Amino acid sequence: MRITRIVAAFLRAAVLKETAYRAELVGNLFRSLTGIVVAIGGLAVVFSHTSDLSGWKLEQAMVLMGVYYLVQGIVQTALSPSLNEVVQEVRKGTFDYVLLKPVPSLLLSSTRRFVVWHVADVILGGTVIAVGLIRLEAQITVPMAAVFVAVMIGAVAIVFSIWLALTTLVFWFVRVENITMIFQLFFDTGRYPVEIYPFWLRQLLTFVFPVAFITTVPAQTITGREPLVAIWLAPLVGALALLAAARFWRIGLSRYTSASS
């Protein structure tokens, strides 16, 4: 298919570019590893004072931390590099060249760049999830794993939608380089289960800025905890968020006037 061929070409170019800077690659991998070790260290400190964090055991919280890094890795590998470029291009007016290509602008804008080494976060996150599950001696059945994958896809769809919606604001405000910091700000609350937050913040993180669906719900699914919200909601929220964000993108796009006009 044409679209997969295009994305594959972008991916190949990204891998080639990365292999040119091998020392950098090793440094970055070391950084990813340190980041996760520090995060687990933080969990260890917290659980040295309790064995139960709002109903979560250490191993379950580890799985959640793993989910956080997995999603974070996906964002930084595949989502943020392309969308950050959109922000730059709209400001400079070079976004014209994206519109001139015979490919849907949204596809091109969201798959052009990959920062391949961030895959390390995905792998490390997966490892942390696995270690947590083994220490839990969890019985993972095939249907459970399938639900987990579906919920994770929903989570990534939500993240992509939020990021895309924030990026789309560029068509109105032009200077929004920092707006993605707002995403990271809320996303950081997802390092811990949403149950720990006070009522008002929990509502905010479930319904307005659905971080709960990104880390807490997937971790609940796979560790067999009583779900916070009906799990089938997660892929549904993801699909709805995608539709809304794509619609918003089209509205924003119609306002694009290039740089000099």
Partner 1 sequence: MIVRRTTLAGALALTRAEIADMFQYRTQLFIYALWSVIGPIVYLAVWGSIAGDGDVGGLRQSDFAAYYLTFMLVTQLTVAIEIYTFGPMIQQGELSPHLLRPMNPVWVAAARNISYKSVSMLLMIPLWFGFVFILRPEFSVTVGSVALFVAALMLAALLSFLVGTTFALLAFWTTRSYSFWEIWVWLTFLLGGQVAPVELLPGFVQNLATALPMRYTLGFPIEVLLNRLDAGQLALGFALQILWLAAAALTVRAVWRAGIRQYSAVGA
Residues that bind partner 1 in the complex, under the rule CB under 8 A = 24, 27, 31, 34-35, 38, 41-42, 45-46, 48-50, 53-54, 175, 178, 181-182, 185-186, 188-189, 191-192, 195-198, 200-201
Closest to partner 1 by CB, 45 or 142: 45
Closest to partner 1 by CB, 35 or 126: 35
Give the shortest CB-20-to-partner 1 separation in angstroms: 15
Q: Are 61 and 131 in contact (CB under 8 A)?
A: no
> Distance (Å, rounded) from C-alpha 159 to C-alpha 165?
10
Give the shortest CB-182-to-partner 1 separation in angstroms: 6
Closest to partner 1 by CB, 27 or 104: 27
Give the shortest CB-192-to-partner 1 separation in angstroms: 6
Closest to partner 1 by CB, 35 or 150: 35
Give the shortest CB-57-to-partner 1 separation in angstroms: 13
> Distance (Å, rounded) from C-alpha 87 to C-alpha 177?
7
Total Cβ atoms within 10 A of residue 29: 16
> Distance (Å, rounded) from C-alpha 133 to C-alpha 139?
9
Q: Which residues have CB under 8 Å from 176's CB, separation 6+?
A: 87, 166, 167, 169, 170
Give the shortest CB-205-to-partner 1 separation in angstroms: 10
DSSP for residue 163: H
Closest to partner 1 by CB, 35 or 227: 35
Take residue 58 and report the two structure tokens written for it: 């250490």
Give the shortest CB-94-to-partner 1 separation in angstroms: 22
DSSP for residue 227: P
SS3 182: helix
> Distance (Å, rounded) from C-alpha 60 to C-alpha 134?
11
> Distance (Å, rounded) from C-alpha 5 to C-alpha 166?
28
Closest to partner 1 by CB, 7 or 176: 176
Closest to partner 1 by CB, 160 or 183: 183
Q: Which residues have CB under 8 Å from 29's CB, separation 6+?
A: 117, 120
Give the shortest CB-221-to-partner 1 separation in angstroms: 22
SS3 56: strand
